[in-house]
Amino acid sequence: MDSYDILLYLAFASITYMTPVLLASLGEIIAERSGVVNIGVEGILLASAFTATLVAIVTGNPLLGFASGALVGLLAGLIHGVLAVYLRADQIIAGLAFNMIAYGLTVMGLVSIWKHHGASPRIGVSLEEIDVAGYHVNPVSLASIALAILAWYTLTKTRVGLALRACGEDPRAAEAMGVDVNRYRVAATSIGGLLAGIGGAFLALEVVGQFTRGISAGRGFIALANVAFSGWNPLLAVPGAYIFGFLEALSVYLQQWALGYEYIARTLPYIGTLLVVTVFAWKAIAPRSLAKPYVKE
Amino acid sequence: MRLGSLENLRSQLVEVTLALVVGFVGGALALTAFGYNALENIQVMISYGFRDLGYLLLKSAPIVLTALAFLVPLKAGLFNIGGEGQLYAGAITALFLSKIGFYLAIPAGALAGLLVGVAIGLLRVVRGVNEVVSSIMFNWTLYYLSMFAIQRYLLDPVYTHQSIRVDRVLSLPEVVTIMLLSPLVVYLLLYNTELGYRIRVAGSSSRVARYAGVNLNIVTIQSMAIGGFLAGLGGAIQVYGVTTVVDTTLSSLYGLGFLGIGVALIARGNPLAVIPAAVLVSGLLIGSHWMELRGRVAPELADVVIGVIILALSAPYAYRVLASRMGWGVGGG
């Protein structure tokens, strides 16, 4: 392969690698726009990747794997939403706790079900890829880009989107508009969890091909970085996720060639993300009532 | 002591006790769900975890330090979840300098942690980068860099699954002294110094801080420097006081930073309460390894139990609602 071929290969591989981060970012943008921050996305990726692996291996059907991952994400988002909204939990701390629980549960599951501390067996099934100009692209990757457009449209051009953003900016005004702030926030956080759950399923089924301990490897936090990078705009989350996807594709590629320096190659996505958020810190303004519980008077 | 602080202490004790109960119920549910005998395993975890007092204290020491590393920036309103990476930096730096000498290696480890903390603080102050995100990026970067360093420069020529062994180690009384003194020093720093006052004012609200003439940017960097220093020290202590080597997969370091966060939260942000909280958590950790030997259960059950405890503690409002419904009459807004 000459360098042009390598670049083209990386450019397409990046689309696969970006997908879990994009889905998690879109979910988090929706949740944060309503006023709830969920740093438990890392744990949702883990839990849904685990469930999707288990279901896909047992049923032999990748779609059921995706469905189960989405369901786990939805439930996790719902729990976080209820904790944050009705029980007024500290959202950062609840998210950290959820990440610990998800890590613990998935490793317990690995040992209990497959008697292995590191990884599940190979899943063996995945979705049929689509041919684009001679390169294979995953249908879920394309759908997630379409979803970004849909999320942008819904947030900025529809009444529901306006109401949701009002909950995150000025909940009192939203209430005056006749919006049930708490219900909107729980719904947005649940949808956010659902999308992250699909991302987790994608990670296991389409990227790695099995569940491994700590499979999310910081992608939930990279999604959080991407949310800030995008300025809470779903459309800009696409190039943001693509940058990360490219870094990961490059990292995986370099790991095969830089013998003795594999660990250095592995730092690439994290250093790259750090650089991106540092260089592009354009002081995008977060939703004003982010992470603040709404207390009716 | 301030007026009403005793009442406050009582309600916090009840709160933590309730959270512990919820945590163990959560652990029992997880065990049952995965087909284990819940009672038997939790019994092993608790009864074996707290048997050997010396070992218990030894294991607690690094967690005390990572807990303080989270706690000090928290007082300034910052989430330093980078204790994990700061601890790696401290451990590996101290390991690198083992030939030069023990008295230099441990402070150098603390200094390495400090630098990571300062970097996170600077990124926030200068470029507005959220400290939670940058912390995690540093954690992962340092995780792989540490493995690289061991693999390439510090590998034991005979036992190739681990690093070289450090020559001189800290004795148990030395480790325990550090473990007991650090929270005291942090307590005095927070409540009896000008710097501590400024950290606490910065954490109360940015408006109050501005009225009090506190420069938030400087306090951010100062509190992150202290946090990083403590976690780095924790890493050095882990190497020189507890394990004396680091394995190539970093399993002897992995998780200590995150457990510190749990300990600080269980201690309800009180530096002195970090000591019993750390003993509790490391007891669970030791017990979970016994449980693995006995019942083939993954020791990560400890993460589930600690996670549920923290989750239960994350919503004090829920507890207040419960308390008022049950007519316990414990006060608070």
Residue B141 contacts A where some CB pair is shorter than 8 Å: yes
* pTM of the model as a whole: 0.94
Tell me the CA distances in angstroms from A14 to A233, A253, A257, A258, one per residue in order.
Answer: 21, 11, 18, 20
With CB atoms and an 8 Å threshold, state whether B148 touches A111: no
CB of B81 less than 8 A from some CB of A = yes
Q: Which residue has the higher pLDDT, A166 or A2?
A: A166
CA distance A78 to chain B (A): 15
Confidence of residue B11 (pLDDT cuts 50, 70, 90): confident
Q: How confident is the model at residue B221 (pLDDT cuts 50, 70, 90)?
A: very high
Q: Which residue of B has its CA nearest to A295?
A: B317
pLDDT, average across residues A198-209: 98
Mean pLDDT, rounded, for B165-188: 94
What are the C-alpha distances in Å from B171 to residues A26, A34, B232, B246?
52, 53, 19, 18
Q: What is the pLDDT of residue B329?
A: 52
> Can you tell me the distance from the alpha carbon of B289 to that of B298, in angstroms, rounded to the nearest whole number?
8
| Average pLDDT in chain A | 94
- What's the Cα-to-Cα distance from A114 to each of A53, A102, A107, rounded to whole Å? 12, 17, 10
Q: Which of B81, B152, B308 sits opposite A101 (nearest CB)?
A: B308
Q: What would the pLDDT profile of A270-297 be if each residue is shown by its tens digit?
A: 999 999 999 987 666 789 889 888 887 6
Q: How confident is the model at residue B328 (pLDDT cuts 50, 70, 90)?
A: low
pLDDT confidence of residue B332: 42
In the structure, what pLDDT confidence band is assigned to residue B317 with cuts at 50, 70 and 90?
confident
Q: Considering only CA atoms, which of A220, A237, A181, A198 is closest in space to residue A29?
A: A237
Q: Per-residue pLDDT for A266 more than 80?
A: yes
What residues in B contact A218, CB-CB < 8 Å? 136-137, 139-140
For the CA atoms of B181, B182, B185, B191, the dihedral, rounded to the nearest 10 degrees, stands at -120
Tell me, yes or no, if B6 comes closer than 8 A to chain A by beta carbon. Answer: no
B263 touches chain A (CB under 8 A): no
As a whole number of angstroms, the distance between CA A29 and CA A72 comes to 19
The confidence score (pLDDT) of residue B318 equals 77
B81/chain A closest Cα distance in angstroms: 9
Give A40→chain B minimum CA distance, Å. Answer: 11
Across the interface, whether the CB atoms of B308 and A94 are under 8 A apart is answered: no
Report the residue from B300, B315, B317 with minimal CB separation from A108.
B300
* Tens of pLDDT, residues B237-267: 999 999 999 999 999 999 999 999 999 999 9
Among A260, A264, A258, A224, CA closest to A244: A224
**A-chain residues near B285 (CB < 8 A):** none
Q: Where does the pLDDT of residue B213 fall: very low under 50, low under 70, confident under 90, or very high at 90 and above?
A: confident
**A186 contacts A80 by C-beta, under 8 angstroms:** no
**Among candidates A205, A22, A274, which has minimal Cα distance to B120?**
A274
B1: pLDDT confidence band, cut at 50, 70 and 90? very low
Give percent above pLDDT 90 in chain B. Answer: 81
How confident is the model at residue B211, as a pLDDT? 85
Structure tokens at A217: 């490897």
CA distances from A146 to A19, A140, A223, B156, B170 (A): 12, 10, 18, 52, 59
B317 vs A108 pLDDT, higher one = A108
A1 CA: distance to closest CA in chain B (Å): 29
The residues in B 184-223 lying below 8 A from A, measured between CB atoms, are none
Is the pLDDT at B330 greater than 60? The verdict is no
Question: How much is the mean pLDDT over chain B?
Answer: 92
Q: What is the pLDDT of residues A155-203, one digit of tens each?
A: 999 999 999 999 999 999 999 999 999 999 999 999 999 999 999 999 9
- Residue B318: its chain A contacts at CB < 8 A? 87-89
Q: What is the pLDDT of residue B327?
A: 66
Cα distance between residue A218 and residue B137, in whole Å: 8
**What residue segments make up the domains of chain A, in order of their start?**
3-120+141-279
Q: Higher-confidence residue: A1 or B133?
A: B133
Q: Are A210 and A120 in contact (CB under 8 A)?
A: yes
Domain A3-120+141-279 has CATH 1.10.3470: yes
Among candidates A88, A98, A222 on the partner chain, residue whose Cβ is nearest the Cβ of B311: A98
With CA atoms as reference, the chain A residue closest to B78 would be: A92
Q: Is B26 on the interface with A (CB under 8 A)?
A: yes
Residues above pLDDT 90, as percent of chain A: 87
Contact B148 A96 (CB under 8 A): no
SS3 of A135, please?
strand
Percent residues over pLDDT 70 in chain A: 98
With CA atoms as reference, report the closest residue to A145 among A53, A242, A217: A242
Contact B318 A105 (CB under 8 A): no
Closest listed residue to residue B217, CA positions, set B114, B80, B116, B76: B76
Res. A260: pLDDT tops 60: yes
B311: nearest CB among A101, A222, A273: A101
* Segment holding A73, helix H or strand E: helix A62-85
CB pair distance less than 8 Å for A221 and B297: no
Which residues from A are below 8 Å from B70, CB to CB?
none
pLDDT tens, position by position, B78-97: 999 999 999 999 999 999 99
Element holding A132 (H helix, E strand) = strand A130-132
Predicted confidence band at B333 (pLDDT cuts at 50, 70, 90)? Answer: very low
- pLDDT score for A70: 98
Query: End-to-end alpha-carbon separation of chain A, Å?
Result: 67
Provide the shortest C-alpha distance from residue B9 to chain A (in Å). Answer: 20
Question: What pLDDT was estimated at residue A90?
Answer: 94
- Best CA proximity match to B23, nearest among B302, B265, B285, B277: B302
Return the minimum-mean-pLDDT range out of A245-254, B99-108, B172-181, B313-322.
B313-322
B106-159 pLDDT, tens digit each: 999 999 999 999 999 999 999 999 999 999 999 999 999 999 999 999 999 899
Mean pLDDT in residue range B296-309: 96
For residue B77, pLDDT over 90 is answered with yes
Q: Could you report the per-residue pLDDT of A44-72, keeping only the tens digit for each?
A: 999 999 999 999 999 999 999 999 999 99
Backbone angles phi, psi at A130, to 5 degrees: -100, 145
The pLDDT-based confidence of B10 (bands split at 50, 70, 90) is: confident
